[in-house]
Amino acid sequence: MKIAVLSRKSDLYSTRRLVEAAEQKGHEVHVIDHMQCDMMIESNGLEMYYHGEKLEGFDAVIPRIGASVTFYGTAVLRQFEMMDVFSANRSLAITRSRDKLRSMQMLAGAGLGLPKTAFTNYSKEEKQIVDKMGGAPLIIKLLEGTQGLGVVLAETQKAAKSVIEAFHGLKARILVQEFIKEAKASDIRAFVVGGEVVGAMKRTGKEGEFRSNIHRGGSAQLIKLKRSEKAAAVKAAETMGLNVAGVDMLQSDRGPLILEVNSSPGLEGIEKATEIDIAGKVIEFIENNYQNKRGRKKNA
């Protein structure tokens, strides 16, 4: 197979591992910076160019599209899809997952457990919002934040009101969520590939830090998931329409609570914590589904 990995940098851990895993299985792999692609759209066909060279003959594409370039990155991916190239994650699913509010609405609609969450249009009723959430402590996070950035723990009623007021004053879209005390500054990242949890780790924030993100200095360790946690992770990825996903959950007294479904989950933390070849699992998924696609075409 000829595989394209859409990534801004070829030396990123996740990109390198996907290339290694694909090459070990005998595939031809090209790392393509999606922000350097040009798309030609005509009534009689679609074409893609990278640094002036026409891209053709690809069988599959693995998108590693950063949140800050979602619009253009998914446009490039959509062009590949319309050129009949199999994608590990579809462009629509990535766009859907990047909208935190839409994601939570969809997850709630699917009956999955979530932390109680509030979203308003720059409401001036900060005290009312805090009261409806059950009071402090509360987590307040930017709608567009990633990797733990733009997330604040407000430990008192007064602090929560002030933070909400400040964010709204800056015209910043925010989510207000309940603080799950029993999670003890830890969360779970379940890595889902093709409807199956292929690895899971428990992430814990460094001392004095409530955010568990590894990018914020947190640590990760292998964890054996409960059946309910596996089921929740698989259903969350399925609800978003993602074949490859990192599902972040909190362990609570009322069961697993979904925080986020990541469409471009990093491989470094999960591979080091679990010692599982996650990149290889992704390539196996692409191989199986590409073959199925070819089989359906032959039988059509």
pLDDT at 144: 73
The predicted pLDDT at position 108 comes to 97
Name the strands in the sheet holding 60-63, side by side, starting at the edge strand that comes first in the sequence: 28-32, 2-6, 60-63, 86-87
What local confidence, expressed as pLDDT, does residue 17 receive? Answer: 98
pLDDT tens figures, 97-115: 999 899 999 999 999 999 9
Residue 126: predicted pLDDT:
87
**C-alpha angle 79-238-271 in degrees, rounded to nearest 5:** 85
pLDDT reported for residue 26: 97
- DSSP for 180-230 reads -GGGTTEEEEEEEETTEEEEEEEEEPPTT-----GGGT-EEEE-PPPHHHH
* pLDDT recorded at residue 146: 61
Q: For residue 99, give every residue at least 6 positions away whose Cβ sits within 8 Å of its Cβ, in sequence order, or none.
A: none
Check residue 123 and give its pLDDT: 78
- Mean pLDDT calculated for residue range 224-245: 98
What is the CATH code for 182-266?
3.30.470.20
Residue 142 is predicted with a pLDDT of 87
pLDDT digits (tens, 9 = 90+) for 42-68: 988 899 999 999 999 999 999 999 999
Which residue, chain included where needed, has tokens 């007021």? 165
Domains 117-179 and 182-266 share a fold: no
Domain ranges of the chain: 2-87, 117-179, 182-266
Structure tokens at 2: 């000829």
What is the reported pLDDT for 217?
Answer: 54
The reported pLDDT for the residue numbered 210 is 56
Query: Mean per-residue pLDDT for 120-124?
Result: 80
Question: Residue 273: is its pLDDT beyond 90?
Answer: yes
Q: Note every long-range contact of 110-113, with CB atoms under 8 Å and residues 24 or more positions apart, other chains counting.
A: 110/235, 110/236, 110/239, 112/232, 112/235, 112/236, 112/239, 112/258, 113/232, 113/252, 113/254, 113/255, 113/256, 113/257, 113/258
**Confidence at residue 162, expressed as pLDDT on a 0 to 100 scale:** 92
Q: What is the pLDDT of residue 4?
A: 98
Residue 290: pLDDT band with limits 50, 70, 90 = confident
pLDDT, residue 179, reads 93
Please check whether the domain covering 2-87 is classified as CATH 3.40.50.10490. no
161-187 pLDDT per residue, tens: 999 999 888 888 889 999 999 998 899
The percentage of residues in the chain with a pLDDT greater than 70, rounded to a whole number, is 91
pLDDT-wise least confident of 105-119, 129-143, 189-203: 129-143
Rounded Cα gap, residues 110 and 129, in angstroms: 25
Q: Domain 117-179: give its CATH code.
A: 3.30.1490.20
Count Cα atoms within 13 angstroms, Cβ side, for 212: 19
Q: How far is CA 70 from CA 60, 157, 177, 264, in A?
A: 19, 35, 25, 11
pLDDT of residue 293: 66
The C-alpha atoms of residue 241 and residue 273 are separated, in whole angstroms, by 26
- Residue with the larger pLDDT of the pair 295 and 272: 272
How far apart, in whole angstroms, are the C-alpha atoms of residue 263 and residue 243? 9
The answer to whether 88 touches 60, Cβ cutoff 8 Å, is yes
Work out the pLDDT band at 209, boundaries 50, 70, 90: low
Give the model confidence (pLDDT) of 79-97 as tens digits. 999 999 999 999 999 999 9
What is the per-residue pLDDT for 106?
97
The mean pLDDT value for 274-295 works out to 89
Q: What is the mean pLDDT of residues 245-250?
A: 97
